[in-house]
Amino acid sequence: MAQAPVQSEFLDLAEVAVPPRLTRLELIGFKSFASRTVFQFERGITAIIGPNGSGKSNIADAVRWALGETSYSNLRGKKTEDVIFAGGQGRAPAGMAEVTLTFDNETGWLPIEFREVTVTRRAFRSGETAYLINGRKVRLKDVHQLTASLGHSYTVVGQGLVDSALSQRAEDRRGLFEHAADLAGLRLKAVESERNLAEAEGNIARLTDILSEVEPRLRSLERAARQANEYRDVRDRLRTLQRAHFRRLLLDVSERLSAIESTAASGREMAETLQVRHDELTSELARIRAHRETSADLLDRHKVGLAESTEQHRRVVHQRELSAERLTALHRRRDDLDETQRGLEQQIVTVDSELAAVRTHLETVDSDLAGARVRLQEVEAI
């Protein structure tokens, strides 16, 4: 009863384990295939027939090359440029060679989650090589791991391979049989496991050396660790004290800054008030200066009027003196010139009235002059 599921599972695996089928081969710039060439492999037997030199072996080399062949001797070449179209018959050399294999993976034989798998390899004359699986760049290692299971399903038998296999030593012939028996993938995994094991052993050896070097220093390291812990405690305590100290300093500075800002605000208000007062005094000074200039002009005009009045007074005084002399003469001649005396007396009355007017005007001028002098003294005092 317990073996029935195992037998059923074995039967299912036997039914599913069908190798993938090569359905398409595409070559661009590979060896003699300068132009894009496509081979469709339908179900059944496909044979490619042609005379010597027509490129039949190049097709087999293309399959080898696309599947990750790195030995150019198996590709009948010496370097990467030998697989790139070299030119001929009026055609320029190609700059790149590309081969694409397409497999039908309906049965899931290949370890990838695609029903159709394309394996592409590109090579450039600069020496650069690229590998792609379904259009995504991969490593050569990924191509080998993907196609390792094709060993017993697809075997490329090149020219002279049978004779070479018969003449090879047993060890060399075993590699061919292992590839045909689908042991290449297991050998790759074994080589990788051995490499990982060697790296692990190397790491163990290095760790052993480090331990042997560190153990004598363990006591000093413990002491250093204890000192480091003490230093960390002291450092944390110092940071706590520094934070508290700096917090107090910050509060003090903040308070002082607030007081300074308040004083600065009061100073700004006082400065604004003083500026307003300064502007007012400046305006008042300008007004006083304008008034002083006006007073100075008025004083100049009064000086001119005073000079004119003085000159007029001098003339009047001179005229009075002349009139007095005339009056004296008239007095001497009064007896003889009565009629003339009336005229002269009338003239004297007229002159006296003019003189009174002149005196009145002179007093007015003197009063204005005294007021102007007082205002000038006030202005000059400012």
DSSP state letters, 8-19 = HHHHHHHHH---
Is 179 or 201 the better-scoring residue by pLDDT? Answer: 201
| CB neighbourhood size of 217 (10 A) | 10
pLDDT in tens, 328-361: 776 676 667 566 556 667 777 787 788 888 878 8
Q: What is the overall mean pLDDT for the chain?
A: 79
Q: Indicate if the pLDDT at residue 7 is higher than 50.
A: no
What does the pLDDT average to over 90-110?
A: 89
pLDDT at residue number 4: 33
**Are residues 149 and 179 in contact, defined by beta-carbon separation less than 8 angstroms?**
no
Question: Comparing 70-79, 95-104, 260-269, 324-333, which segment has the lowest mean pLDDT?
Answer: 324-333
Q: Which residues contact 119 (CB under 8 A, 6 or more apart)?
A: 66, 67, 100, 101, 103, 131, 132, 133, 143, 146, 147
- How many whole angstroms from its chain centre is CA 135? 36
Report the residue count for the chain. 382
What does the pLDDT average to over 56-72?
A: 87
pTM, full prediction = 0.44
Q: What CA dihedral angle connects 107, 113, 114 and 115, to 10 degrees? A: 20
Diameter over CA atoms, the chain: 197
Q: Which residues contact 152 (CB under 8 A, 6 or more apart)?
A: 180, 181, 182
pLDDT at residue number 18: 67
**Are residues 24 and 41 in contact, defined by beta-carbon separation less than 8 angstroms?**
yes
